[in-house]
Structure 1
Amino acid sequence: MEKMKLGWIGTGVMGNSMCGHLLDAGHHVSVYNRTRSKADNLIARGAVWCESPSELAQNSEIVFSIVGFPPDVESVLLGDNGALAGARAGTVLVDMTTSSPELARTIHAEAAARSVAALDAPVSGGDVGAREGTLAIMVGGDRDVFERVRPLFAVMGNNISYMGGAGAGQHTKMCNQILVAGTMIGTVESLLYAQRMGMDLDAVIDVIGQGAARSWMINNLGRRIAKGDFQPGFYIKHFVKDMGIALAEAQRMNLSLPGLALVNQFYVVAQAMGYENLGTQGLYRVLARINNMEGGVAGNGC
């Protein structure tokens, strides 16, 4: 693969590993993050620190971003010191944040007005997928731009799909998050049942994780629940954001999604309980408290 000058904005739980794969592939990478210390390990490996997204874009052929919330995306890409302000004609902006489809279309239009290309390319696979380079990447934008960036996506993921025009990547991710929500509450309730019956959670997962009920959730996050591990691979606060986007899009389309609305309310309760910085498997703690099962999980308790 031809070595390129790349920019990376956002070095959190997933972004740090994803950027690291591009460094390992031999690309010249400039980095920016709101908290510089979270990029120190990448700088030590050869990444070049930039003081703003605008400065970063001036030195990059392709700029990737993965930040927290839609306002963060708007700030780092479209703000006064955002990447678009520093981008030269022909630069590509690739936002990998799970964000609003409407914002993705806005970024695409504003970039095109300056002869800059833009893709929306949210991902699925959590911290494990980011570390192992096995993410699913769903992409919206112009097909020729997608083909230009595809070799770089292949460094970070193994399931890379072009989904259509601007915003199509984000719409696909909404489909993913709707399914995740339903599967997550099923995982939690299944393990709560097993816990109440005094069963070994790992032994239960060994069986049901290989049958008709098998899923990534039960086999990965279920194992973390069994260990009492609620550290984030993906934050509750970010999942609440994602579900909010999906519900807003559904309302705009006059589409009723009662299952998603119910799960969203449980996660809002999780935030109210102070669990917003736990991983999404932290929903177990909410339902454990509702069922008076505090302290019932192996490891550090529920």
Structure 2
Amino acid sequence: MTKPVIGFVGIGLMGHGVCLNILKAGFPLVVVAHRNRAPVEDLVGRGATEALSVAELASACDIIHICVTGSPQVEAVIGGDDGIAANARAGSVVVDCSTSDPVSTARLAETLAERGISMADAPLGGTPANAAAGTLGALVGADDDTFARIEPVISAWSRNIMHLGPVGTGHKMKLINNFMSLGNAALLSEAMAIARKSGLTVEQFDRVIGTSRMHNGFYDTFMKWTLERDDTAHRFTITNAHKDMRYLSCLAIGSGALNPLQDIVRNQLSAMESAGSGAQFVPMIADFIASANGLNSEVPNDKK
């Protein structure tokens, strides 16, 4: 049986790893460059085909992945004369792997459906290292027929696939998931600052929390910055985190849900971005909160 041709728009930290696994699974892959040519050239060297535009990619592919910053970028890729909606074949599928605004996702799905193109959302769960290893999670929103078509491709790059319901449900759950992880980041950072202010060390903090019921995979990647100054373990920027929490605020308001704790987390991220730290990664929240408490950088046994 001939495998569908897969398109991929957005070959960044996560997209490159996803594409590697699509190729490993034997799917024909078409990619398009944006700013950084290095990942494109790497994938072409492994057998991918490079399209010169999104329009060219869309017209050549059966299932088109998008993995960009957020909804404005997704809308730009799908809309316009050179976008996916105007150039993809009827019967093709668009899979948005970005963390997007569910309201925008629903609107885009309607636009694509008018042209006979299906849409699914499959935001990614994990890190760039998980993407390269093919061990990401995928939170999928799609009708049953569309899910059946895209599941073999998603299985190439995801270890844990959860079909949550119709299009948009994946993005809703992803925002809630990110709220929990970012809330954990803020909580850990503030707790470490209190520990240090009261005379305990970060090493003592880790010895207790890292061996308790509160230990988890997020804790491990988050703490690698504080304990080892490893900035590769959790490469998710403050700017992207803040964007996700703005989307979640809109989702909460639209749903009539109270969200006082999420407001605090969002404002913490807003403060970091406003201070010029938007390009820093989420584990560096610990340094920001430490500085606000008059402490220097978070390292084991560090003192004021």
What's the TM-score, normalizing by structure 2?
0.91
Q: Is the 8 A contact 1:108 1:141 kept in 2?
A: no
Q: SS of the counterpart of 2:276?
A: coil
Task: Write the distance in 2 (CA, Å) between the matches of 1:191 and 1:20.
Answer: 38
Give the deviation of 1:99 after TM superposition: 0.3
Q: SS of the counterpart of 1:158?
A: strand
- Structure 1: gaps spanning 5 or more residues: none
Give the deviation of 1:89 after TM superposition: 1.2
Given candidates 272, 275, 279, the residue that maps to 1:273 is 275
**Equivalent residue, structure 2, for 1:11:** 11
Q: Does 1:105 align with 2:113?
A: no
Give the deviation of 1:217 after TM superposition: 2.1
Give the deviation of 1:198 after TM superposition: 5.3
**Equivalent residue, structure 2, for 1:264:** 266
Give the deviation of 1:113 after TM superposition: 0.9
Q: Is the 8 A contact 1:53 1:83 kept in 2?
A: yes
Q: Does 1:123 align with 2:124?
A: yes
Task: Write the distance in 2 (CA, Å) between the matches of 1:157 and 1:121.
Answer: 10
Task: Point out the more displaced range, 68-77 or 221-230.
Answer: 221-230
Give the deviation of 1:267 after TM superposition: 0.8
Q: Deviations over 1:178-213 (max 9, x none)?
A: 211221112222333455545353x64354234221
Q: Summarize the Cα distance change of 1:127–1:145 in structure 2 as closer, same or farther, 3 Å threshold.
A: same
The aligned amino acid for 2:56 is: E
The aligned amino acid for 1:83 is: I
- State the identity as a percent: 28
The aligned amino acid for 1:223 is: K
**Equivalent residue, structure 2, for 1:282:** 284
RMSD: 2.2
Q: SS of the counterpart of 1:81?
A: coil
**Equivalent residue, structure 1, for 2:251:** 249
The aligned amino acid for 1:21 is: N
Task: Write the distance in 2 (CA, Å) between the matches of 1:78 and 1:257.
Answer: 33
Structure 1 stretches of 4+ moved >6 Å: none
Give the deviation of 1:263 after TM superposition: 1.0
Q: Summarize the Cα distance change of 1:55–1:37 in structure 2 as closer, same or farther, 3 Å threshold.
A: same
Q: Deviations over 1:69-98 (max 9, x none)?
A: 211000112232112221111111000000
- Structure 2: gaps spanning 5 or more residues: none
Task: Write the distance in 1 (CA, Å) between the matches of 2:141 and 2:169.
Answer: 5
**Equivalent residue, structure 2, for 1:292:** 294
Q: Is the 8 A contact 1:230 1:278 kept in 2?
A: no
Q: SS of the counterpart of 1:273?
A: helix
Give the deviation of 1:46 after TM superposition: 2.0
Q: Is the 8 A contact 2:287 2:298 kept in 1?
A: no
Q: Is the 8 A contact 2:124 2:137 kept in 1?
A: yes
Q: Is the 8 A contact 1:188 1:284 kept in 2?
A: yes
Q: SS of the counterpart of 1:214?
A: coil
Q: SS of the counterpart of 1:293?
A: coil
What's the TM-score, normalizing by structure 1?
0.92
